Structure 1
């Protein structure tokens, strides 16, 4: 077991002031793999003070100076790519092939996108005699979840560094190892002391202290809607900017004009990505009501093709991240059965032959109504619900009938019809006919899925303030 006993503050690895620790458990076999410190308000004060002091000079650096640092960081990230992937497999159980092809890749993609955004950004422009300038907002608190460790950290840190901000990063205590390695890479890249600070801690202690801190100008959080609301409340007294990327319960509308077998199987595969632990997962599959039985058969075939096992083996799905998440998924599966949904395949308990580790059976529910708990709550596991619709209007109504508004999916052979449906969905991102995820397109949600946008220039703009200087061009 690895003992991690320091935070990265002001360019140095320093002992925490708090004596609270957290034991990190390998979700694949339930063995302890690390002991990490949990920051308290005093640790937060120290990290924020370092970031505040560094802002005075780092905010004045030129575009070219920051580009040199970011390009060096990207080179170091690429050199450590396989190591980062292996750390994510250890801490959250993603199969190693997926860690390399997706979990590590997204961090690389966001670094590249932030560099491109900085290269082309128009930071100053004269309107008449007035200078319109965009300046770094200040000290930023970056609060990230466990499900995509590099995606969620780098999508915040890279544009914040590009903008000239300084920051305190607090990743989830359930996936800290890859984030600690990223802090080491930032140090190796040569960013000035205090620009990037890294602590670990519980949300109710460290996250709360960061959100309330008067010297923090912005909080960017990815997490549950509950966590996002807590951050916004804590931040309100100091009127700081809060950017939230929160939960989702995305609908996948399968229209009558497509190949149902292919659309259903593709939809199941998309829902189960990262073992279903993705906020944009298309977990509500909307199918023509008269073809529900066919859809259930195709969904079963797709789900049963997902092998489950040790993430170091050639499997599709590893475990979910921890015991708490495992128990939550089990309770929601039981709730679906109790409320009358048809359990088509999977169900409670571990897959056969897996007696240790937080492994979940790939599960399909059919005959679900949109009022059932499993259609309303974010399950965050390999569980998909099949909901029947009668008309196109009915499908759009069901898709929008949720407190969330993160993502939507449409399978439709008629592209004009698909575009018309897309315009009516109250979500921040839509994928038509299996379109690829684009790290240079804006990402974020409507309604209780949050506010603000991440990725590329949209994420970059989130870390800037706008200033007008009248009489500049005398």
Structure 2
């Protein structure tokens, strides 16, 4: 069995102050394949001290040199991308093709995107063209605690680490203890790229110990967290005493509004596949499908057929199948919510309780579809984080918007219509940080984030840089910017 118990602190692989072994489980076999150590507040103190000590030098490093380091990181990542994909596949169960083409690829894509944005970003500029003596200076916020989830590990690590380091911050990363292997590999990439000691630090650990220690640490200037709303609220509380900046990307319960004038077979199938992708473990999944009543029965047939044709397979097998859920805890949660849908009167039209046929071990679940869901049901209100689709009818635009917005979340909503004016009208009224119309792709530098309890702040592109910057206004600056 692998042992990866050291942390990466101040440019060296450092043993924990107090050993605390923790098994990393392969979700396809339910067996441990690696041992890490869970850190303590003492390890966090050491990592934060390293980040604080290196901050001034890193901040003073010219932006061109910082970009060169990130370019080197991208080069190393690209050479070892298949190694990264295998780590992700083993730790969280992503099928290998998904791990290569989406999971690992997302990390590399974000690194390259931030390089482009950093090259173009103006860290010093006039307030306006007609204010020659008033300048704005964008400066790094300082030491940043970055806490990332297990479901899209490299997507989130790179969305935080790269912009933070790019603008001159230093960081302490706590990846999910459930899926830490990809982040440990990423730390190897950082070491090989030759970043200044102390600029990037990694401490494994659980939320109540290491996460809390980072959130409450007086020398951490900012927390950037992706994960559950419950934990995000707790981190906000622990950060309040030191009045640090907190950026949160949390849960979602996306509505997918399908009007009768849409291409129904395409829209319904696309929406169901998106819901089941990554075994449903995506915060922006369209898990509530709202269908105009005149095409409701047709949509149910298509969604049911799509679920029944969704293959389930081993993570190490090539193909378009879905893999297991990440953990026993997640498996039990999804099973419980499927049962609640049955108990509350939703009509089960595909999938259901238990593992798929042919699987008696591993956290595998069936792609599941419920019809006739009421928005008051648990399956309509709680983030399931499994391949479970809830379908409900609507009669008009007003009802569709009301149902969509009747949630504590507001991350991503979806609209399908042949009438682009209507789609735009609906998009303006949906209370979410993102709206996708007719399956359009999102651009790499588009802001990612939500309203309400889906979080605050944005990641990606220029918006991702600005999260890690303070703005200083300087009056009386009567010379050109150097």
**Cα distance in 1, alignment partners of residues 293 and 213 from structure 2:** 50
1:149 is matched with which residue? Answer: 153
How far has the Cα of 1:311 moved from its partner? Answer: 1.1
Q: Does 1:65 align with 2:65?
A: yes
How far has the Cα of 1:470 moved from its partner? Answer: 2.6
**Cα distance in 2, alignment partners of residues 114 and 260 from structure 1:** 37
Kept in 1, the 8 Å contact 2:187–2:202? The answer is yes
Kept in 1, the 8 Å contact 2:132–2:477? The answer is no
How far has the Cα of 1:130 moved from its partner? Answer: 3.0
**Cα distance in 1, alignment partners of residues 193 and 64 from structure 2:** 15
Kept in 1, the 8 Å contact 2:58–2:168? The answer is yes
How far has the Cα of 1:330 moved from its partner? Answer: 0.1
1:302 is matched with which residue? Answer: 306
**Cα distance in 2, alignment partners of residues 230 and 352 from structure 1:** 40
How far has the Cα of 1:469 moved from its partner? Answer: 2.5
How far has the Cα of 1:93 moved from its partner? Answer: 0.6
How far has the Cα of 1:18 moved from its partner? Answer: 2.4
Q: TM-score, normalised by structure 2?
A: 0.97
Kept in 1, the 8 Å contact 2:222–2:245? The answer is yes
The 5 A counterparts of 1:301-450 are 301-315=305-319, 316-450=321-455
1:189 is matched with which residue? Answer: 193
The 5 A counterparts of 1:4-403 are 4-126=4-126, 127-315=131-319, 316-403=321-408
Unaligned runs of 5+ in 1: none
How far has the Cα of 1:248 moved from its partner? Answer: 0.2
Regions of 4+ moved over 3 Å: none
Kept in 2, the 8 Å contact 1:135–1:163? The answer is yes
**Cα distance in 2, alignment partners of residues 177 and 419 from structure 1:** 42
**Cα distance in 1, alignment partners of residues 443 and 309 from structure 2:** 27
**Cα distance in 1, alignment partners of residues 210 and 246 from structure 2:** 16
**Cα distance in 2, alignment partners of residues 439 and 273 from structure 1:** 19
Kept in 2, the 8 Å contact 1:292–1:366? The answer is no
SS of 2:473's partner is strand
**Cα distance in 1, alignment partners of residues 472 and 295 from structure 2:** 57
Spell out, residue by residue over 1:13-58, the C-alpha distance to the aligned partner (whole angstroms, 9 max, x if none): 0110122221111001111111111111111000000000000100
Q: TM-score, normalised by structure 1?
A: 0.99
Kept in 1, the 8 Å contact 2:258–2:415? The answer is yes
**Cα distance in 1, alignment partners of residues 424 and 352 from structure 2:** 36
How far has the Cα of 1:305 moved from its partner? Answer: 1.3
SS of 2:372's partner is strand
Unaligned runs of 5+ in 2: none
Cα RMSD (Å) of the superposition? 0.9
Kept in 1, the 8 Å contact 2:260–2:294? The answer is no
Kept in 2, the 8 Å contact 1:110–1:439? The answer is yes
**Cα distance in 2, alignment partners of residues 469 and 261 from structure 1:** 57
Kept in 2, the 8 Å contact 1:292–1:367? The answer is no
**Cα distance in 2, alignment partners of residues 385 and 141 from structure 1:** 36
How far has the Cα of 1:293 moved from its partner? Answer: 2.4
**Cα distance in 1, alignment partners of residues 68 and 85 from structure 2:** 25
How far has the Cα of 1:138 moved from its partner? Answer: 0.2
**Cα distance in 2, alignment partners of residues 435 and 261 from structure 1:** 16
How far has the Cα of 1:472 moved from its partner? Answer: 2.7
**Cα distance in 1, alignment partners of residues 296 and 349 from structure 2:** 11
SS of 2:137's partner is strand
Q: How many residues align?
A: 474
**Cα distance in 1, alignment partners of residues 361 and 442 from structure 2:** 34
